Copies of this chain bind each other. A is one copy, B any other.
C-alpha cells in the first residue's frame, strides 16, 4: 500500500512530524554510480522555503543513505534512505487534534484506521513526496545508463486562470522550467502566476493548477498490456500525489470532442523509422510506448489549507469553524513539478525493466 512498482519498487514511510521520512528502493540495477550532487539538486527543487511563492517551512531535507551502496555504487541490495524532520512544531497543530479539516484526509483516515496522526497532516502531508524525489533522482541516474537520451521534462502548465499553450509542450526544456519560482516555462505567464499566488496569500486563499510532463527519446516497446499499461501505471502514480484530481495523456479529455479522422496519428517512414506525423496519442498505444514523445497532464486542486474561516466539525461531532494559522502555500503546483518528474522516472524504469 505504501509501495509502488513491480520489479523496481519504492516503499516510502514517514509522517510530517515524526522523527524522519524516507524510502526503500528495491530492485534497483547494480553498478549505477550515485551522483550525490544530482540527488541533492533534485531534492532542493521539491523543498519548500526556497522561493517566494512557497510555504515558509524551512526543511533541510538532507538525505542519508543507509544501505545498498558500496563506495557510492549500487550493489543490487535495497537502497534505504532517510530524511530527518527538523522543523517540527507539532504544537502548532494542537487545535487540529480534535477536529476534521475540510477537504483534508482527516475524517476519512480516522474512519479507516480509528486513529490519526494529526500533527501537520501526518502521513497525508505533502512532505511524504520528498522520498519520491530521492528515488526519482536515483531512477534518472539509472536511466542515463540504461536508457540514454531519454529526457523527462515536467512544468507548470496552469495556475488558476493562466494556462500555457499545449501546442508548445514539446518546446519547453528543463532549463526553461527553472528560470522562475512557479516553474512555468512561458516567460509571459510566469510573472502573472507569481502575482496571483502573492495576492492569494494576502487573501488567505489558494488556487489549483496543472503540471504537464513530456518524455523525449523513449524507445518504442516499453509497457505492458492489459492491466499494467504504461498509461495506467502513470495515472496511478500521478493520482497518488497529494491534491491530484485528474490525469490525461495525449489529447486527453479533448479527444472526447474529436473525430477519428482528426485524432488518428498517420504513420510514415522517416529516416528508416516508423514515424507518426502527429502525436494526439501522446506516445502510447495499447499500453506500450510507440516511439513518439510521451505527453501527459495532471490536475491539482487548490491547497485545502487556507487562512479563511471554514465550517467544519469536531471529532466528537460538534459543528465548529477552522482557519489555518501561519504561512501556507497557496498553490502546490510548482512543488509538484519535481514529484511528477520523479514518479515518471520511476514508472518508466520499472516498465523498462519488465519489458526487456
**Per-position contact with B for A134-165: 1 when CB-CB < 8 Å, else 0?**
00000000000000000000000011110000
Whether B260 lies near A205 (C-beta < 8 A) is yes
- Determine if A64 is an interface residue (Cβ-Cβ < 8 Å): yes
Cα A269 to Cα B317 in complex, Å, equals 7
Main secondary structure of the interface of A (DSSP, over half): mixed
Cα A290 to Cα B14 in complex, Å, equals 23
CB distance from A183 to the nearest CB of B (A): 15
Measured between beta carbons, the chain B residues less than 8 angstroms from A117 are 70, 75, 77
**Per-position contact with B for A1-45: 1 when CB-CB < 8 Å, else 0?**
111100101011111001111101011001100000000000000
Whether B286 lies near A109 (C-beta < 8 A) is yes
CB-nearest residue of chain B relative to A128? Answer: B226
Measured between beta carbons, the chain B residues less than 8 angstroms from A237 are 227, 232
Whether A257 lies near B13 (C-beta < 8 A) is no
Whether A311 lies near B207 (C-beta < 8 A) is no
Interface centre among A100, A223, A246 (most CB of B within 10 A): A246
Cα A158 to Cα B264 in complex, Å, equals 19
Whether A223 lies near B24 (C-beta < 8 A) is no
- Determine if A339 is an interface residue (Cβ-Cβ < 8 Å): no
Q: Which 3 A-B pairs have the closest CB atoms?
A: A105-B286, A246-B248, A111-B221
Query: Given A11-B26, A15-B67, A267-B312, 19 more contacts at CB 8 Å?
Result: A1-B226, A2-B77, A18-B69, A19-B66, A70-B117, A74-B115, A76-B115, A102-B276, A108-B220, A112-B223, A235-B236, A260-B306, A264-B302, A268-B313, A269-B319, A274-B313, A277-B311, A281-B301, A356-B356
Q: What are 19 A-B interface contacts by the 8 Å CB criterion?
A: A11-B26, A12-B226, A13-B26, A19-B66, A19-B67, A70-B115, A103-B280, A205-B261, A208-B258, A209-B256, A231-B239, A234-B239, A248-B299, A259-B302, A267-B311, A269-B313, A274-B313, A277-B311, A281-B301
